[in-house]
A = this chain, B = another copy of it.
Amino acid sequence: MTTTVSTPDDVLRTAYQKSVAAYWNNNQQDPVNLRLGEVDGLYHHHYGIGDYDPAVLEGPDDSRDERIIAELHRLESAQADLVLDHLGPLAPHDRILDAGSGRGGTSFMANQRFGCLVDGVSISEYQVGFANQQAVARGVADKVRFHFRNMLDTGFESGSLAACWTNETTMYVDLSQLYAELSRLLRFGGRYVCVTGCYNDVTGGRSKAVSRIDEHYVCNIHRRSDYFKAMAAHRLVPVSVVDLTALTIPYWELRAKSSVATGIEEAFLTAYREGSFHYLLIAADRV
């Protein structure tokens, strides 16, 4: 697989994709991602799970913010670990894909755990550059590579992947197109793991809070049912589905109290608490 140089015109095919790329390219100094990443060099672009240690809110004021940030980062890494737990046993010669790889956090953790070859793709040139620099810095540039490519059309070989995941990136794409591509890439029996926010069909429609999140991130949150329909249509068969909603609420409560709060925290908390929104993990097999 050669790393051909892609131009923005190759990769960004619609006005919408351009606006998403612009959002992330221009978002370089957002402390919620940068400051947490600086804790241990794993830069995440997703949320966290698990209870936070209430002790971080107490103690000396001057390090309070630092404690909160370290704790938020710990919860985000715990989420990435949960994704990896569902990727199943993998051998060092297996190839895996991080579809929507951000600054590379989950990719590096996957390589660390399984030793295998990781490719990440992102439509943000800035993120791709940042993540590749991290790969060099971490000494894994031969094993973990990031590409300025569209996850709907990666150009990778059919059947070449043992596993892939989307960690909070599916809300930027059409699921039917995405799963057509991922299904093409995965070998028979390959594993796909998705963590995503999705709105709850049971409440009956997109709530005000969900629309606010969509507006904030220029994204397009899907219904829970959309995931299962699109998987059913593309040979992806669930084997585990876990509702992480209750597990992610503490993260948002803590973040709302932190210096890196962006203002969107209240919308997430409202949506999760009123039940109009889920935080869901789906592990599925390619058959």
Interface-side segment among A13-21, A60-68, A114-122: A13-21
**How large, as a class, is the contact surface on chain A?**
35 or more
Q: A202-B14, A203-B14 are in contact. Are A237 and B208 (CB under 8 A)?
A: no
Q: Does A205 contact B (CB under 8 A)?
A: yes
Contact A188 B14 (CB under 8 A): yes
Stoichiometry, copies per complex: 6
User: Secondary structure of the A side of the interface?
Assistant: mixed
Contact A228 B232 (CB under 8 A): yes
From residue 157 to 191 of chain A, which have CB atoms closer than 8 A to chain B? Answer: 172-174, 188-189
Interface-side segment among A70-78, A240-248, A253-261: A240-248
Measured in the bound complex, the distance between the Cα atoms of B238 and A204 in whole Å is 15
Q: How far is the CB of A210 from chain B (nearest CB, A)?
A: 8
Residues from chain B with Cβ under 8 Å of A13 in the complex: 188, 204
Q: Does A273 contact B (CB under 8 A)?
A: no
Interface-side segment among A93-101, A125-133, A213-221: A213-221
Q: A201-B287, A238-B238 are in contact. Are A19 and B218 (CB under 8 A)?
A: no
